[in-house]
Amino acid sequence: MQKLLTLILLVLLLLTTALTLPVSAADTANGAEVFSVHCAGCHINGGNIVRRGKNLKKKALKKYGMDSIEAITSIVSNGKNNMSAYKDRLTEQQIQDVAAYVLEQADKDWR
């Protein structure tokens, strides 16, 4: 019984660790492709051709509470105001990847 409990705890620890690992380079490389095809039309270089202040720069992401993977995946999936929803056009993995790419580029000031 003790071995079973130990095994269960080990599995839970591994799952928790896997969920909190940083995003890999492969994820952001795929995110760059997704961004190029689906996002760059409105958000070229992290800008916003529809609403200038609602861009993807680090300062704006923080100001509007969009500075996390969860927040970005939510708005990409569900849309908001002028932002279209992409949950029917992109896979969950593509949405995660593009969110990681956006955060990475914001940290680099889109250079």
Tokens 């990681």: give the residue.
100
The CA distances from residue 3 to 7, 8, 13, 86, in Å, are 6, 9, 15, 45
Helix (H) / strand (E) containing 13: helix 2-19
pLDDT of residue 7: 53
- Whole-angstrom Cα Rg for the chain: 17
51-70: per-residue pLDDT in tens? 988 999 999 999 999 999 99
pLDDT of 91: 96
Supply the pTM of this predicted model: 0.76
Write the class of the CATH domain 24-107: mainly alpha
Length reported for the chain:
111
Residue with the two structure tokens 């070229």: 44
